[in-house]
Amino acid sequence: MAEPNNKVPAATYESPAPPLDFGALSVAIVWGTTAVVQKFLLEVFSPAALQCIRNSGASVLLLAIMLLLGRRIREALSTSFWALLGAGLLMGVQLLTFVYALNLTTASEAALIISTAPVWTALLAAALGLEAIYPRNWMGILVALGGVALIVVGGSLSPVAHAPTRVAGDMLMLLSAFLYGSYMVISKGLMQRHGTLVVITLCACLANVIIVPLGLDQVLAAPWSTLSSLQWLCLVYAIVLGSVYGFVMWYRSIKRTSPARTAVYQYLVPIVAVVTAALFLHERLTLLQFAGIGVTLGGIWVARYHPAIRSIAYPEE
């Protein structure tokens, strides 16, 4: 008689830790450094001009990629034009508030505060009856907002340059995070119907309805002839890597793994921004702000722990 085989098939074992996703990791690094790159470019371009250049260039490249991949751009426009226009206009306002806030505050604080967008997504989804918020999520939301308060107060106490405008910039960045959370809630249905990258591409294009008229004159008046090689390189970096590569690779990682696993890498974005800003912009955080970093990121993690909240913040392709 053959001995019984008590071995469990290898396929039933789960890896104790998911493999490193180099695509998502690279995006976290790119997005973390993009805030620093934009802060550097704001020394040359006005906020409206910089966002006009970046979003116009990114939307054209994204549209070309979608057309090459055969995405159903025409179908999405014919069936959901007005919804896409509303989401695109909201994206345009959010992008403008972001760059104007970045001009007033530091790259470090900007990256930390914009990272609270999932918290606002959860709150708005609950307010609209789309998702339930559980006690643990409420605790995380309150903790995250408390961390933001520490970052803002710590920034107001900093003796470095631009301190007088940092509180205004931080408040405007908090509004930008709220608008980004609103965009994610509003666009969720569109993304489920037409695909994430299609919706992002069309919204980026439609956002130009607001961004281009506001910034075109300033783009034409920019000192193009005096730009250094480094400034040109940063401009290309912000458009190609910060926008196009970031969006395409991020949602590719979501599709290959899961929203939950990919979302973990977003916690690296503000950390990368803080380190990069310290190295290249010589920004320094106060001890109170360092405490705020830990409190904010911990609160966001708790607030997004429930799968329902993650599903809104990171819709799949």
Q: Is the pLDDT of residue 164 over 60?
A: yes
Instruction: For residue 157, name the pLDDT band (cuts at 50, 70, 90).
Output: low
pLDDT reading at 163 higher than 80: no
Helix or strand or coil: residue 222?
Answer: coil
Query: Which tens digits make up the pLDDT trace of 2-14?
Result: 444 554 444 433 3
Taking all residues of the chain, what is their mean pLDDT, rounded to a whole number? 81
pLDDT of residue 308: 42
Decide if pLDDT at 37 tops 60: yes
Better-predicted residue by pLDDT, 210 or 130: 210
Query: How far apart are alpha carbons 317 and 314 in whole angstroms?
Result: 9
The position carrying tokens 């994610």 is 184
What does the CA dihedral 112, 114, 116, 122 come to, rounded to 10 degrees?
Answer: -170
pLDDT at 305 over 80: no
Q: Per-residue pLDDT for 247 more than 50?
A: yes
Mean local confidence (pLDDT), 198-204:
92
Place 261 in a pLDDT band, splitting at 50, 70 and 90.
Answer: low
Q: Which residue has better confidence, 24 or 49?
A: 49
- The predicted-structure confidence for 85-108, as pLDDT tens digits, reads as follows 999 999 999 999 999 999 998 888
Residue 273 has a CB neighbour count (10 Å cut-off) of: 27
- Residue whose token pair is 């912009």: 281
Q: pLDDT value at position 289?
A: 73
Q: At what angle do helices 117-127 and 287-303 cross, to 10 degrees?
A: 40
How do residues 57-82 score in pLDDT, each as one tens digit?
999 999 998 888 787 888 888 899 99
Handedness of CA 57, 62, 68, 70 (dihedral sign): negative
Query: Over 90: is that where the pLDDT of 287 sits?
Result: no
